[in-house]
Amino acid sequence: MHGLLSWIRESTSFWGRAVIALVGGLLLAFAFPGFNFAPGSFLGVFLLVVAVHKIGVTKALIVGFIAGYAFYGLVLIWLTTYLGPIPWMALCIAEALFFGISLSMMSLVWRWLNGMNLGALKPWLMAASVATIYLGREYFAGHFPYGGLPWARLGLSQVENFTAKWAWAVDISGFSWLIAFVSALAAFFFLHPLPQGSGLAARSRKFLPVALSFGILIGTPFAFQLPIGEETGKLKVAAVQGNANAGLFAINPPGSILGKHLAVAKDLVASAKEEDIELMVWPENSSDLDPLNNTEANLLISEFVTNDLKAPLLFGNKTFRGKDFFNEVDLWLPETGLSDWYDKKRPVPFGEYVPNRDFFMALAPDMVGLIGWDMSPGTRDGIFNVRGEDKVGSLICFEVTIDELHYDLIDQGASALMVQTNSSDFGKSVQGVQLAAISRMRAIETGRTVVSISTVGVSGIYAPDGKVVEELESFEPGAMVSDIALRTDKTPAMVFGRFIEPTAFALTLILTLFAVISSLVKRYKGRR
């Protein structure tokens, strides 16, 4: 055993490091919802740090690419149910390249800091640098290219764990940094052991900082009751899952998707089990007939809202305005009809529009041709006044992954969040599970109740402390009804969290620049 540990610490074998990085990437993926091995995040970062120990920038780039491909390949495997393996492979290669670049930066910065006389602060500063670079990579991957993929972020892996409370204080991004920091700190102490025969007391003292760091990370949320804010009122919300195959490329009889949601909604209202509903929410794409341009759909929805529901209805629709095509949420009121709407601000590239269409059409005409009309980004806010001054915010599907949209909604006074999504394209994969878990983490982060409603599931209502109020059986028609609490207080995450990731990205560039300059200066002096 001692020989194996020594080899892990000292060997610079490329293939050995590649295997360590591969295992690290897989462990990171296994931490996410659908697999739920929470320690995988800590072990994964630990092994990534070990993998780049004492190897050069080029090798670090390659082993990082291997780790990144293993990570994204597993955690995003659900993409293959949508467009097959080729887009999945292409996305994983792009994300793995970013991953590899970040590990090469870690290697470079590590070498620079290791050559400095930092004394007892060295492991702390090196761990902080690794965590900052990891978070800087998450920021870049979440914004570039074409708006990025802010999906598999380290902090999101712990939603089933009580440590998820950290998101309330430091945002999802800050939680990612904390996980990476304590894991990197453990790796640095592991990689620099005391000489043999040092004794148990000396070894215990050496690892005391690591133990304390993990103790604070785990113990604080365990002992801390989230102050979820004062209620400003309650709103009785009904959320309807029609169990409709509303996939982008699904072929359905016209009006059948609208019909399924109407049937569940009418049954709920007619049952008289739930009276005085104040807001009903349907998912994204829940009306396959556009009531703004289709008389039959307009009449069906208006009659239901006015005569049966007698309360506002928020539902997903797709519509043309001039030459623009929007994925939107409409607010329909009794007697009034359409009173407000929100157009999706961040359509999904290669799902709802094709960026640089001519270029990609030349590469894959059959695949790109499936997306016949590009959806336009909206400019309206996602705030709806549903009762007096009470406001709810709406996010459409993948927008739940985008930090900036949450900050905007909370800043504009949203007292609860409605996440309306269509997971039909992804079948019974873990996509719905992961998306619901993100909604649950957003509830903690924003201090708001989140109603996440899907066409097929996972649909749930999540309290600001992360508890599951109710969830529906997936791929079954059903409805949830709950008196949700409304709140206007801002969590620390909503006040300060927006600065964490951009700062980490800026520091990543600064650290790398200093490391590059230091390396060039050493080379110049060596030649002289």
- Angle at 310 (CA atoms; ends 309, 312), nearest 5 degrees: 85
Angle at 517 between CA 514 and CA 522, to 5 degrees: 125
Q: Are 379 and 345 in contact (CB under 8 A)?
A: yes
Cα 22 → chain centroid: 22
What is the four-CA torsion angle of 419, 38, 52, 70, rounded to 10 degrees? -60
Alpha-carbon distance 320 to 322, whole Å? Answer: 6
Tokens of 257: 């998707």
d(CA 525, CA 528): 5
Residue position matching structure tokens 């590899």: 100
The residue written with tokens 């204080």 in the block is 169
- Residue whose entry in the numeric block shows the structure tokens 């790398």: 512
Structure confidence at residue 24 (pLDDT):
97
> Which residues in 426-459 are b (16+ Cβ under 10 Å) and which e?
bbebbbbbbbbbbbbbbbbbbbbbbbbbbbbbbb
Name the token pair of 451.
């109603």
pLDDT of 307 reads 95
The predicted structure's pLDDT at residue 526: 72
Cβ-contact 290, 248 below 8 angstroms: no
DSSP category for residue 435: H
- How many C-beta neighbours within 10 Å does residue 492 have? 14
Q: In this structure, what token pair is assigned to residue 69?
A: 């491909």
- The token duo for 236 is 């009785």
> What integer pLDDT is reported at residue 282 of this predicted model?
98
What's the rounded Cα separation, in Å, for the pair 375 and 396? Answer: 13
Q: For 37-51, how does the pLDDT look when each residue is reduced to its tens digit (9 = 90+)?
A: 999 999 999 999 999
For residues 158-184, one letter each, b for 16 or more C-beta atoms within 10 angstroms of the residue's C-beta and e for the rest, the string is: bbebebbbbbbbbbbbbbbbbbbbbbb
- Tell me 455's DSSP state: S
Q: What's the one-letter identity of residue 178?
A: L
How high is the mean pLDDT in each 10-residue block of the chain (528 residues)? 72 89 97 94 97 93 98 94 84 96 96 88 94 98 92 93 95 98 95 70 76 92 85 95 84 92 96 84 96 96 96 96 95 97 95 87 76 90 93 97 97 97 88 95 97 95 95 96 96 96 98 93 77
SS3 of residue 182 by DSSP? helix
User: CB count, 10 Å around CB of 123?
Assistant: 20
What are the two backbone dihedrals, phi and then psi, of residue 477, each rounded to the nearest 5 degrees?
A: -70, 145
Q: Which of 292, 339, 347, 334 is nearest to 317 (CA)?
A: 292
Neighbour tally for 130: CB within 10 Å: 28
CA-closest candidate to residue 308, choices 259, 275, 341:
275
Residues of the chain with CATH 3.60.110.10: 231-349+381-488
Of the candidates 144, 207, 182, which has an alpha carbon nearest to the alpha carbon of residue 44? 182
Any residues with CB less than 8 A from the CB of 98 and at least 6 apart, and which? 68, 137, 140, 141
Looking at residue 196, its pLDDT comes to 66
Contact 5, 192 (CB under 8 A): no
Q: 409, 382 in Cβ contact below 8 A? A: yes
Q: What sign does the dihedral 466-444-34-418 (CA atoms) show?
A: positive
Q: What is the DSSP letter of 429?
A: S
84-121 pLDDT, tens per residue?
Answer: 788 899 999 999 999 999 999 999 999 999 888 888 89
Our measurement of the distance from residue 144's CA atom to the centroid of its chain's CA atoms, rounded to an integer in Å, reads 15
Residue with tokens 């293939």: 15
Please give the Cα distance from 43 to 63 (Å, whole number).
Answer: 16
For tokens 């097929």, what's the residue?
456
- Give the model's pLDDT for residue 361: 82
Question: What is the CATH class of 231-349+381-488?
Answer: alpha beta
Element (H, E) at 525: helix 500-527
DSSP bridge partners of 527: none
Distance of CA 164 to the CA centre of its chain: 13
DSSP H or E stretch at residue 484: strand 478-487
Name which of 148, 150, 91, 146 is nearest 355 in CA terms: 146
| 1 CB neighbour count, 10 Å cutoff | 5
| Dist CA 92 CA 21 (whole Å) | 16
Beta sheet of 313-321, edge-to-edge order: 337-343, 324-333, 313-321, 279-281, 231-241, 478-487
The pLDDT of residue 366: 73
Element (H, E) at 322: none
